Amino acid sequence: MEYNKKNPLRVVTLCSGYDSQCLALERLKTVYPEFDYELVAWSEFDPESTAPLQKQPAVIAHNALFPQWKDRNLGDMTKINWKGLSLQCDLLFYSTPCQSISSAGLQHGFVEGSGTRSSILWNVRDAVIALRPKFLCLENVKSIINKKFLPTFNLWQKELASLGYINFCKILNAKDYGTPQSRERLFLVSVRANGQESHFYFPSPIPLKSNIGELIEKKRVRCV
């Protein structure tokens, strides 16, 4: 399938934040001018905020970057009735919370039904069942596959496999892809098999051509 201006990639993002995923797709459009996508729905909601949804910081940031899609925020992803929506989705991004997994947190885990922030990962299943995206992509901290959390992560992979997806998993470091920062993150890419063998290859590292000092200097010069 070729995705272009006549047939844009239909994207849904969960726990969207300001949507770095869409920023990446925007960058892809500059490299491949014929490529295009549409954010058919997104979900951003801060359960700890007392502000109305449209006044929450992440929602404000998202609307500033992508004002054309400000009316497509579905809010709290744990309360979305996916079956009641008439959405078509090719690619589902779900960068669910890492607070209960990260080594910087209390590490309460993400067992289904545990009620931790990170356990809302399991609510993604409803979206997958209803939308049947061709591709899924999870991004999270690398500690999600440490000894303590690996059994739960493997259960999630088995869940996706039972829904007909083939999983490809790897830890990538931002410094290997043009960013002068060591930032390791786990990526789980799942491809709907449709009874056929599927292949996915993570990108090969590229040489780092700049350092943080150079970036700061360029920014300083622009501000002068």
Confidence of residue 160 (pLDDT cuts 50, 70, 90): very high
pTM of the model: 0.90
Contact 111, 162 (CB under 8 A): no
> Is 3 contained in some domain?
no
78-87, 133-142, 178-187, 204-213: the lowest-pLDDT one:
204-213
For residue 165, tell me if it sits in a domain: yes
pLDDT at 107: 83
Give the CATH number of the domain where residue 54 resides.
Answer: 3.40.50.150
Rounded to the nearest 5 degrees, what angle is found at the Cα of 205, between the Cα atoms of 145 and 3? 90
Residue 36 has pLDDT above 60, yes or no: yes
**Mean pLDDT across the stretch 197-206?**
88
Q: Which residues are catalytic?
A: 98
CB-CB neighbours of 216 under 10 Å? 11
Strand partners, 188: 138, 169
Q: Is residue 102 part of a domain?
A: yes
pLDDT in tens, 161-189: 999 999 999 999 999 988 888 899 999 99
Q: Is residue 66 part of a domain?
A: yes
Residue 43, domain member (yes or no):
yes
Give the tens place of pLDDT for each residue, 52-89. 999 999 999 999 999 999 999 999 999 999 999 999 99
* Tokens matching residue 178: 């043009």
Is 173 contained in some domain? yes
DSSP, collapsed to helix, strand or coil, labels residue 29 as: helix
pLDDT for res 96: 93
Cα–Cα distance for residue pair 47/17, rounded to 1 Å: 13
1 occurs within a structural domain: no
Helix (H) or strand (E) holding 136: strand 135-141
pLDDT (tens digit per residue) in 91-124:
999 999 999 998 877 789 999 999 999 999 999 9
Count of structural domains, the chain:
1
Helix%, strand%, coil% for the chain, nearest 5: 40, 20, 45
Residue 155 CA to residue 188 CA, distance in Å, equals: 13
> Does 140 score more than 80 pLDDT?
yes
Q: What domain range is 172 assigned to?
A: 9-223
> What is the rounded distance in angstroms from the CA atom of residue 181 to the CA atom of residue 216?
13
Q: How confident is the model at residue 31 (pLDDT cuts 50, 70, 90)?
A: very high
- Looking at the domain assignment, is residue 184 inside a domain? yes
